[in-house]
Amino acid sequence: MPPALLALRGVCKRFGAVPALADVGFNLAAGEVLAILGPSGCGKTTLLRILAGFEAPDEGTVALDGRDILPVPPWRRPVNMMFQSYALFPHLTVERNVAFGLRQERLPRAEIAARVAEVLALVRLAGLERRMPHALSGGQRQRVALARALAKKPRLLLLDEPMAALDRRLREETQVELLALQRRLGIACILVTHDQAEAMALAHRIAVMEKGRIVQLGSPAEIYRRPANRFVASFVGDASLVAVRVLGQEGGMLAVVAAANDTLHLSVPASTAPALPPGGMGWLMLRPEAVQVAPASRTEDAGALAARITHASYAGALMHYRLALAEGIELRASRPAASGDAPPFAPGDAVRVSWPPGAAVLLAE
């Protein structure tokens, strides 16, 4: 394994009595994009500020290229940040904003001009060199902030909620552009976001944080398919969660029964289930798109369960349903809306639901 570009070990930070980070550690490879995903207040911004040098951890080590960077002040770290508010210098033109970091290095004038022109072309801002920041649109400001950080050719680029200030359509376009740019430059990035879609679209790996801890670190697909716990399952994507009690293993499947209803027997693949003893409590998770819904009149699906539609909403390509599966157990299902012959179900309809055997995942408490 090549040595990691960035290595964090046991990083802790408290603000007064409030722990902001507890034992955070991970490696980042060169060229890798890691998304730190979590709700506000989970400590993800504190982590980013420690990497930039604006905060010092109480404990732990941070090494970049094998060297401890904690004693290095922010202005000497080969790390640059794109701020959530962009923090452009309002008194400087686009050109001077981008050149700011290079002027600090006292590079020759001609080299500064060349680098500025290069990064401005990279973010497609050529022609706006003499504009002041207040005369730019939100998307243009964001690209100036990115260009300003890229101009320094950092070893590590930090992105603090890079899309938060953009509207939805622009956000999607910018994601595509940012992704293409990152893959082209091969620059290592740490991206902080509360938007799971953004994390999935941009990152090679995602670290999901809750209350100052990394609760799961893995590829977007791992995190989506095999969430480590209930928090991750509900934070990343939509999920139905059913409280269940483990009965025992039968062949390759683990038999469970719903905690709220003793008659509702279900099963999950044992290979993916956590080691829970018979009688142990856990959560059965189902992604809405895995849940198949059929009219109650069709009887061909043997393993299907009877359910009732409680809520239906139209979302263009998809229909979102909420289903009552026996007493007090709710499932969510998303089905393609334009299936032509099959009319969408309406609230009150009796239906039968089923899912592929591997779709259900058991989570420990």
Partner 1 sequence: MAGAPRTPFSRPGLVALLPFLWLVLFVLVPLAIVFKISLAESVLARPPYTPLFEWSGEGWPQLRASFANYTLLIEDDVYRRSLWGSLRIAALGTLAALAIGLPLAYAMSRAPRRMQGTLLLAVMLPFWTAFLIRIYAWMVLLRNEGLVNLALRALGITDVPLAMLGTEGAVVLGIAYAYLPFMVLPIYASLERQDPAVLEAAADLGAPPAAAFWSVTVPLARPGILAGCLLVFLPALGEVVIPDLLGGSGTLMLGRTIWTEFFQNRDWPMAGALTILLLVVLGGPLLWLQRQQARLLAQAER
Residues lying near partner 1 in the complex (CB under 8 A) are found at 52-54, 73-76, 79-81, 83, 85, 87-91, 100-101, 104-105, 132, 134-135, 148-149, 152
In angstroms, rounded to a whole number, what is the distance separating the alpha carbons of residues 112 and 61?
A: 34
Nearer residue to partner 1 within complex by CB, 75 or 341: 75
CB of 80 or CB of 182, closer to partner 1:
80
Burial of 67 by CB count in 10 Å (0-12 exposed, 13-18 middle, 19+ buried)? exposed
Least distance in Å: CB of 124 to partner 1?
A: 21
The CB-of-160 to partner 1 minimum distance in angstroms stands at 10
Where do we find the tokens 């497609």? 124
Nearer to partner 1, 62 or 333 (CB): 62
Compute the Cα dihedral for 33, 37, 43, 46 and give only its sign.
positive
What is the dihedral sign for C-alpha 304, 305, 308, 313? negative
Cβ atoms of residues 344 and 317 within 8 Å = no
The three-point CA angle 273-193-361 to 5° equals 15
Nearer to partner 1 (CB atom), residue 140 or residue 261: 140
**Radius of gyration (C-alpha) of the chain in whole angstroms:** 25
First and final CA of the chain: distance in angstroms?
34
Nearer to partner 1, 61 or 93 (CB): 93
Three-state secondary structure along 119-142? HHHHCCCCCCCCCCHHHCCHHHHH
Q: How far is the CB of 97 from partner 1 (least distance, A)?
A: 9
Q: What backbone phi and psi angles, to 5 degrees, belong to 12?
A: -125, 145
Distance in Å, CB of 88 to partner 1, minimum = 8
> Minimum distance between the CB of residue 152 and partner 1, rounded to whole angstroms?
6
Between 53 and 162, whose beta carbon lies closer to partner 1? 53
Name the minimum Å distance from CB 147 to partner 1.
12
